[in-house]
């Protein structure tokens, strides 16, 4: 497969990645050093049963069965993956998710990012 040379331009790549994240079927969340969500895509909000406005500023792990120690470990090592049960923000039960968390840098500043996906379709009660 051949690609056009223009695809390698940074601004084109940024737009393609942005659109891919916006339309992805998996949730993508970014959080800061205070362990507060600062960005998320539509799928993350749908999986968590909330709106972006309500999610931003919420504490990471505040709606999960994840311990504070496991979040501390992810921050310390720069990586974590596993499964967790999440209490939906809308009160519509829980959802079991698979997650991958990793350290990243955006605009020269360090952040953590988490990708989430439901383990099964539907919401458990």
pLDDT tens per residue across span 23-39: 999 999 999 999 999 99
Q: What is the pTM of this model?
A: 0.86
Q: What are phi and psi of 24, to 5 degrees?
A: -65, 150
Query: What is the phi/psi pair of residue 69, to 5°?
Result: -65, -40
How would residue 121 be classed by pLDDT, with cut points 50, 70 and 90? low
Give Cβ neighbours of residue 18 (< 8 Å, ≥ 6 apart). none
Domains of the chain: 24-118 (3.30.450.20)
- 8 Å CB contact between 88 and 77: no
The sign one gets for the Cα dihedral 87, 92, 94, 97 is negative
Q: What is the pLDDT of residue 4?
A: 75
């Amino acid at each position: 497969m051949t690609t056009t040379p223009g695809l390698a331009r940074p601004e084109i790549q940024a737009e393609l990645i942005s659109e891919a994240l916006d339309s992805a079927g998996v949730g993508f969340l970014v959080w800061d050093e205070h362990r507060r969500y600062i960005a998320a895509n539509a799928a993350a909000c749908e999986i968590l049963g909330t709106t972006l406005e309500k999610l931003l500023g919420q504490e990471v792990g505040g709606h999960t069965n994840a311990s504070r120690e496991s979040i501390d470990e992810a921050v310390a090592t720069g990586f974590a993956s596993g499964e967790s049960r999440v209490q939906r923000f809308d009160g519509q039960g829980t959802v079991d998710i698979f997650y991958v968390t990793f350290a990243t840098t955006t605009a020269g500043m360090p952040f953590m990012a988490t990708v989430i996906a439901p383990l099964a379709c539907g919401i458990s009660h």
